[in-house]
Amino acid sequence: MNMGMSLMKEFGLWVLGASLLCLATKSCSQVTAQVPGFFIFGDSLVDNGNNNGLVTLARANYRPYGIDFPQGASGRFTNGRTFVDALAQLLGFRNNIPPYARTRGRAILSGLNFASGAAGIRDETGNNLGDHISMNQQVNNFGNVVQQMRRYFRGDDNYLATYLSKCIFYSGLGSNDYLNNYFMRDFYNTGSQFTPQAYANSLIHDYTNQLTALYNLGARKVIVTAVGQVGCIPYQLARYNGTKNRCNEDINNAIMLFNSGLRKLVDRFNNGGLQGSQFVYLDSYQATKDLILNAQSYGFEVIDKGCCGVGRNNGQVTCLPLQQACRDRSTYIFWDAFHPTEAANIVTARLAYSERAPTYTYPINVQQLASL
């Protein structure tokens, strides 16, 4: 194959997920996706159905989950679109990125979602809820996908590497390593084994290996998200009886240690640690904090209760099958005890994507990352 034909093949594969396979450059003018593929790793904040077939309590494939989603209860842990659904739309993808569990064939080229509810950086995280796909397993699943991709590049590893280097990778882990591990001391012993700083260091060590494995498989443009302000979600507000603060600052303070380490890791990767890569740190902690503090300016009225749930703050028990959810979901930041509403996901996705102030991405935003 000569160089001209090889370049045409590469370009055609780039746009395969957004339109018909291109035969020539001019036929691709209608394609709007800014990157050829979007690959997602994470937990229930971005899971879109990978847990549907697992034996686990961490499932959301029942109503009223998905009440505002065109396909209904798909396995997303919210009423409509997740953060990555909204981000994919901003990146120009015409369709939502499909779940790994149900996607095969050429569709894998435009991206896959590997995320799993209850998943964590540590393998045992989330075992209290049942089966889940840990980050190590998600990375392994992506490795299998890369092998499947080789057939569409006729075994040309150089062109496959070039293709993957133009894709965006998103990784959001860590919340469950605190909620469903470190601070669940009746089930796990990490709380007695590690100080908060030592635990954060251990998570960063493991996460470094996982992100490096993604890099070795071809990831070059990577978004990593900080853990949000978990001490202020309805689940914690329903259980915490602090006298000074409404939030559980013990959890928040521990999470900030992890987030600080993650930002330093991004600097290390970008400054030669992983040559040729560009990592973006998404400060979900500050974004969720500001969203609550400035709720009215974003159109939100209810900042401390789930739209669907049971008990104090609708946070003692998460949304039950066929339960009646609140009517005006666009005014709630939280959908259930743990997860944001579609409206909140859309706001945070826009803040991460664009250059508009305030910005929660470092050192560049997602739009700039896509353009590299």
Q: Annotated catalytic sites, by residue?
A: 44, 336, 339
Per residue, what are the HEC states of 130-196? ECCCCHHHHHHHHHHHHHHHHHHHCCCHHHHHHHHHHCEEEEECCHHHHHHHHCCCCCCCHHHHCCH
Distances 361 to 177, 224, 355, 356 between C-alpha atoms, Å: 23, 10, 9, 11
Q: Both tokens of residue 237?
A: 């507000």
Q: Both tokens of residue 204?
A: 């960063």
Q: How far apart are CA 172 and CA 100, in angstroms?
A: 16
Per residue, what are the HEC states of the chain? CCHHHHHHHHHHHHCCCCCCCCCCHHHHCCCCCCCCCEEEEECCCCCECCCCCCCECCCCCCCCCCCCCCCCCCCECCCCCCHHHHHHHHCCCCCCCCEHHHCCHHHHHHCCECCCCCCCCCCCCCHHHECCCCHHHHHHHHHHHHHHHHHHHCCCHHHHHHHHHHCEEEEECCHHHHHHHHCCCCCCCHHHHCCHHHHHHHHHHHHHHHHHHHHHCCCCEEEEECCCCHHHCHHHHCCCCCCCCCCCHHHHHHHHHHHHHHHHHHHHHHHHHCCCCEEEEECHHHHHHHHHHCHHHHCCCEEEEECCCECHHHCCECCCCCCCCCCCHHHEEECCCCCECHHHHHHHHHHHHCCCCCCCEECCCHHHHHHC
Length reported for the chain? 372
